[in-house]
Structures are given as structure tokens and as C-alpha cells.
Amino acid sequence: MAVWGAGAVGQLTAHAASLLGADRVIVMDPQEDRLRMAQRHTDAETVDPRHTDIPAELRERTGGRGPDICVEAVGPAWDGRPRSLAERFIGAAERPPAVREAVHACRKGGTVVVLGEFTGHVDAFPLGAVSAKGLRVRGARQHGAGQVPALLERMARDELRTEHLVTHRLPLEEGARGYALFRDRRDGCVRAVFSPDLPPAG
């Protein structure tokens, strides 16, 4: 299985895949700190896409076939410009570079899973390759409520760890700053957690 993106979503996807018996998991991310985190906290192999032809590398690592399952955990490419609600939901098409790469890398008859948050429609989707390769494409967004008891059991057994994803702990008063750190991925922020027990910054 291959995972695009080593944020919290990609890392937990990789870890869950290993827990559920995937033979081999490969995680890709252009951010070195994210790759290091994935190396430390998952059993996945890691690849830096800045120095690699990803579909070729994945074929090479999978005996020429491509991964059985390709998971996109990146989201739309974004130029940093604020988008209006109309743009987000009905207007300009979003660009899905990692979804495209996943479709091209996946083995024939394999499955592409889109976890990234696409809110509207996308252009330049390689439908021809989906059809020619007989791929299954599916998405999932926070439909996990039913899984919470099983996840808590795994956490209690220490099979599933999430502490390392909390890169920032802040008092409630610093909510706006913490959210901005998370939104802009600044200061190595993966997830900010707010706690009323922490004193406000002096």
C-alpha cells in the first residue's frame, strides 16, 4: 500500500494499515520533518517525492506492478489565496495532483482512496486511466464514529499511539494562535491541542 502525505491523516493511515496486516506500506511527503516522524512512529518505508519519480519508484518497489492500494492524504493543491465560500463549494475547480499520481501509480484492478478534503469539483482527473486499469476509487471523510470504541481499545493496548502528533499544547486563550499555526503548518505544527489546565502565556 502507498500513502501520499505524512500529516496526521497519512501517518495514522499508514499505521492502521500495518496493524490490519498490510505487508508493506510506503509513505511519501516532500517535508523532511514529516518523513522523519513517519519513520519513527510507523513501520512504513518513506520516500521523498522531491527527488523521485514516484510512479516509477513505486513500480520498482512492487515488482513492476504498482501498489494494490493507493491512499491520497494530501488534499487539493492550494496557492495560499483565501477562497470564498462560492469558490470552495461551487466555483473554481480544485487541483488534485496527488490523486492523479495515485491513479497513475496504482496497479491494474487496484484501489485508490481519497482522504484529502476536496470540497467542490476537480479538473484534469485521469478518468481514462481509472477506466483502462479497472480501478476502484473511493473516498471517506470522518465516518469513523462507529470505530471509536475499537480505536480506544487499541489505544489502551498501546497498539495505536497519537501523542507524537500533538506538536503544540496551548491554553484555551491561545486558540486563535494555535489554529493559525495548524492552518499554516508553521513551527512544525501537526496538531494543536488546547487545554483549560494550562496557564495563559505570560
Grid cell for residue 110: 487496484
Under the binding rule (CB under 6 A), the answer on residue 49 touching ligand NAD is yes
Under the binding rule (CB under 6 A), the answer on residue 34 touching ligand NAD is yes
How many residues bind to ligand NAD according to rule CB under 6 A? 25
Which of 102, 116, 135, 178 binds ligand NAD (CB under 6 A)? It is 116
- Alpha-carbon radius of gyration of the chain: 18
* Spatial distance between the Cα atoms of 40 and 138, rounded to a whole number of angstroms: 29
∠ CA 165-98-132 to the nearest 5 degrees? Answer: 140
Q: What are phi and psi of 173, to 5 degrees?
A: -60, -20
* Spatial distance between the Cα atoms of 15 and 9, rounded to a whole number of angstroms: 10
Which of 91, 97, 175, 188 binds ligand NAD (CB under 6 A)? It is 97
Under the binding rule (CB under 6 A), the answer on residue 115 touching ligand NAD is yes
Return the range that interacts with ligand NAD (CB under 6 A); candidates 6-14, 63-71, 145-153, 168-176: 6-14
Q: Site mask, ligand NAD, residues 178-197, x = CB under 6 A?
A: -------x------------
Q: Which is nearer to ligand NAD, 7 or 110 (CB)?
A: 7
Contact 120, 17 (CB under 8 A): no
Contact 73, 116 (CB under 8 A): yes
Would you tell me which residues interact with ligand NAD (CB under 6 A)? 4-10, 28-31, 34, 49, 73-75, 97-98, 115-117, 140-142, 185
